[in-house]
Structure 1
Amino acid sequence: MHQALLIIDVQPSFAPPQWLIDGIQVLIGTLPSVATVERHDESKTPFQKQLGWHPAPDDESLIQADRIFIKHGYTPTPETIEYLKSLKVDRVLVCGLQTETCCLAAGFALFDAGLQPTLITDLTVGSSLDRTGVLGVRLWEHHFGHTVRSGEL
């Protein structure tokens, strides 16, 4: 199966646990990889105005993926989705931070683009609402059906 890895927002602003970084690093170099980095620009996404918080304006990915795309807000950019489509993959493996928000938003964008989003359930961390990510995994299974564990790859 031809697949790619989409790493969502593993960056200093979100203080990812070391086990997540280490687990994702194991996959780097084994398949094409893309990482997103969420940066703050209030003129594009009103995090401060609406939520009273925002990511850093200059964060960098803590994972050295093949390609890194900057985004503002929850959803991957159209350029990110087009790049993944250009790889002609059977599925896109998704991991990273904010299982029930940014990862789920990526799943919807991938699905709407005709790609098969597949969540790596043991390489994701939920938001402050549910750090376990269980809520996000349940939402993912409901909307997209496809999940795997890293040991299955």
Structure 2
Amino acid sequence: MKQLLYIVDVQPSFNPSAALVSDITSLAGKMPSAASVERHDESVTPFERQLGWKPGKSDVSLVAADRIFIKHGYAPPREAVDYLLSLKLDRVLVCGIQADTCVLAAGFAFFDAGLHPTLVPWLTVGSSLDRSGELGARLWKHHFGAVLNSPEELGL
């Protein structure tokens, strides 16, 4: 099975645990990987004006991935979607920060592009609304169907 690990916003602004960074880094070392980093540009996405919060202007990915894509807002950039499409993948494994927002937005973008997004829930945390990520996993299952239950399902 041809697959890639897509890592959503594992960056300093979201304060991920060392264990999460370590576990994602370990998996990224076993397969092709790509990551998004959310950066602040108020002229593109009004986080500060509307939400009173903003990601860092110079955040970097805390996981070394094969490709890094900078995004502004919730969804992955078009360049990331085009890159994944060019690889002709069987599925895109998705993990990272904010299962119920940015991770879910990646799922919608990948699904709409004809990719097969698959959530890796044990490597995903939720937003402040639901830090466990269970809400995001339930939404993912409802909209895309593909949620792994264990590392054995990775097919490595």
Q: Quick check: TM above 0.5?
A: yes
Paired position in structure 2 for 1:85: 85
- Give identity over the alignment, percent: 65
> Equivalent residues in 2 for 1:20-31 (5 A)?
20-31=20-31
CA deviation vs aligned residue, 1:37-73 (integer Å, no higher than 9, x gap): 0000000000000000000011000000000000000
Return 22-31 or 39-48, whichever deviates more: 22-31
Partners in 2 of 1:46 and 1:28 — Cα distance? 32
Query: Residue 96 of structure 2 corresponds to which residue in structure 1?
Result: 96
Match of 1:137 in 2: 137
- Give the aligned CA root-mean-square deviation in angstroms: 0.8
Query: Which structure 2 residues correspond to residues 28-107 of structure 1 after superposition, within 5 A?
Result: 28-107=28-107
Per the TM alignment, residue 19 of structure 1 is displaced from its structure 2 partner at its CA by 1.6
Report how many residues are paired.
153
**Segment of structure 1 superposing worse, 113-122 or 15-24:** 15-24
CA distance in 2, matches of 1:111, 1:90: 12
Whole-angstrom CA distance in 2 between matches of 1:85 and 1:19: 31
Unpaired runs of 5+ residues, structure 2, are none
What residue number does 2:120 align with?
Answer: 120
Amino acid at match of 1:49: R
The CA distance in 2 between the partners of 1:28 and 1:151, in whole Å, is 13
Give me the whole-angstrom Cα distance separating, in 1, the residues matched to 2:97 and 2:10: 6
Q: Which residue type is aligned with residue 79 of structure 1?
A: E
SS of the equivalent of 1:148 reads coil
SS of the aligned residue for 1:127 comes to: coil
TM-score, normalised relative to structure 2:
0.96
Secondary structure of 1:146's counterpart equals coil
Unaligned runs of 5+ in 1: none
TM-score using structure 1 length? 0.98
After TM superposition, give the deviation of residue 25 of structure 1 in Å. 1.1
Q: CA deviation at 1:130?
A: 0.4
Residues 123 and 150, structure 1, Cα contact 8 Å, conserved in 2: no
